[in-house]
Amino acid sequence: DVEKVLEDFRSEPMNNIPELYKVFFDHLTNNDLASYEYLLDWLSESLTKRNHTILCAIGDQGIGKGILGYIMSGLHGPKNYAKVRDSIFKANFNAPLANKTLVYVDEAVLDTKESINRIKDVVNENIEVEKKGQDAQNLPNFASFYLSSNDFNAVKIEAKDRRFSIIDLTSIAIAECPELLATLDSLLLPENISG
């Protein structure tokens, strides 16, 4: 039961995170305090309830967008997390979206009106899930959605659309940051992510 899993994750908020993640998140958000704080708030809310905006990380290759997705996977756990491609919003079948608390849309390019309209639906309270060979079901939606892309035209967002949250990102690859490169393995350790 997803609601029980969400309840198990709820805890008293902490005012600090391990220094290792402060450094990584600061790098990823290009030292932009507003984006850094928004990212932490978004992550926290994804664990305690769900976000009604899609977190968008659109930027250069190798800066850490995928690492953020991996950290999210560790925070939510494998049963509550799905990593999908944008094709899930372009085809009829979307079973991986069912009963998840976090869905990571990797390498997204949603440049048609139909794909944008389909992804907009994922912020609703219910989601229509269709498995191959089965009728579509209208299920409660527990998921927060994280979308990343290297394509700066990945998502055609209308000026007044409030469903997408775009954070400011660095253009500096992790490979160019020896202090981050040295801690990369530690960033991905489950015991560190749980901290």
Task: Retrieve residue 177's tokens.
Answer: 């940051």
> What pLDDT digit, counting tens, does each position of 109-131 carry?
777 777 677 777 777 788 877 77
The reported pLDDT for the residue numbered 5 is 53
Share of the chain above pLDDT 70, in %: 88
Residue 3 clears pLDDT 60, i.e. is over it: no
- Structure confidence at residue 2 (pLDDT): 54
Q: Give, as one character, the DSSP assignment of residue 54.
A: E
Q: Which residues contact 166 (CB under 8 A, 6 or more apart)?
A: 56, 58, 157
**Residue carrying the six token digits 């990102």:** 169
Res. 94: pLDDT tops 90 = no
Residues 6+ apart with CB under 8 A from 64: 24, 27, 28, 170, 174, 180
**pLDDT tens across 58-83, in order?**
999 999 999 999 999 999 999 999 99
Segment 7-41, tens digit of pLDDT = 555 545 555 889 999 999 999 999 999 999 999 99
- The burial class, CB within 10 Å (0-12 / 13-18 / 19+), for 157 is middle
pTM as predicted: 0.84
pLDDT band at 154; cut points 50, 70, 90: confident
